[in-house]
Amino acid sequence: MAQNNLGFHTDNYSGVYALNFNPAEIVDNRYKFHLNIFSLSSTFSNNYIGISRKAIFDPNSFSDPNFNDNYLKERLNGEDKSVYINVEIGYLPSFLFTFGKKKERAIAFNMRTRLNVNVNGVAEATARQSYNEQSIVELYNVGISNKNFSLQAGVWNEYGITYGQEVFNNGKHFIKVAGTLKLTQGLGSAYMYSDNMNVVFPSDSTLDINDSDFKFGYSEVFSNIPNGYNDVMSNTRFGFGTDFGMVYEFRKNIDKYKYEMDGDPEYLDPRKNKYLVKAGFSVTDCGINEINERVAV
């Protein structure tokens, strides 16, 4: 699964934002206490449309009225196309707290809402017509087969509690571990699948789907949305999940971070990053997430 806050969640100042990538990052964190009031992150990826590097390094490019033509590129290789979208919202009371004489232990609590959408099995010709607003004349009245087309979407809440500590420290070599127990609350999901979705674009304004079999389903929550928040939440189901992480640090020049405090000459400066090399390992999102199903055809 793609991770949000890329480039930030491995930093020692990432605080609670590192929890969902590697729980062990909260141990020996640069913060004594860190509180997340609100956060929003998202990921979008696909294997069809790419963006030019010139656009990334030139902010003015996004105001170009011909942005699509000048900066977006189609990847035409004859393969099926797919899309992945992930959105995560973090909110109070998400926090971490480090403790112990040398900050060798940490606890954290995390709340977030997650949304995942996957679309797979889109034939390249279907993707091209969709992206180009059905303007490719040579693809008019041509049968296009989208084999194993699928769409899945799910949204759920997570409530996690994490504990971590250092397990080995001989000066130059340092290892810390942490684990998270999560309660998951399934809010809603929907899916659609076809092993032979056959489409035809007769013109720039019509789409025909012929001789195709579909399976689809959606959860109870969509029927209760008009009735308000309480009805939506009353039809959720709970599951559980776990995360585990470990981090190793090689601290070549550990002595230069030491100073005496409270009679301890080996006290390490908690404000400094002490490693020359750092490596981590984590297993995340293990568990069960249950959602009430209303319709499945």
* pLDDT tens-digit map of 27-59: 988 888 999 999 888 899 999 999 988 888 888
Task: For residue 223, name the pLDDT band (cuts at 50, 70, 90).
Answer: low
The span from the CA of 82 to the CA of 42, in Å, is 17
pLDDT value of position 265: 73
The average pLDDT across 130-148 equals: 94
Contact 105, 165 (CB under 8 A): yes
Task: Please tell me which residue, 90 or 294, carries the higher pLDDT value.
Answer: 90
Contact 34, 11 (CB under 8 A): no
Terminal alpha carbon distance of the chain: 28
The span from the CA of 82 to the CA of 283, in Å, is 25
Task: For residue 5, name the pLDDT band (cuts at 50, 70, 90).
Answer: low
- Exposed, middle or buried by CB within 10 Å (0-12, 13-18, 19+), for 88? buried
The span from the CA of 10 to the CA of 155, in Å, is 25
* Alpha helices (H) along the chain: 53-56, 67-71, 124-131, 221-224, 229-234
The span from the CA of 297 to the CA of 123, in Å, is 24
Of the chain, the percentage scoring pLDDT greater than 70 comes to: 90
For strand 149-169 and strand 144-146, is the pairing parallel, antiparallel, or unpaired? unpaired
Phi and psi angles of residue 7, each rounded to the nearest 5 degrees, phi first: 85, -5
> Rounded to the nearest 5 degrees, what angle is found at the Cα of 206, between the Cα atoms of 205 and 211?
165
Please, what is the average pLDDT of the chain?
87
Residues in the chain: 297
pLDDT tens digits for range 140-191: 999 999 999 999 999 999 999 999 999 999 989 999 999 999 999 988 889 9
| Cβ neighbours for 244, distance < 8 A, ≥ 6 positions apart | 23, 177, 178, 179, 180, 282, 283, 284
pLDDT value of position 87: 94
CA atoms within 13 A on the CB side of 103: 18
Task: Please tell me which residue, 10 or 36, carries the higher pLDDT value.
Answer: 36
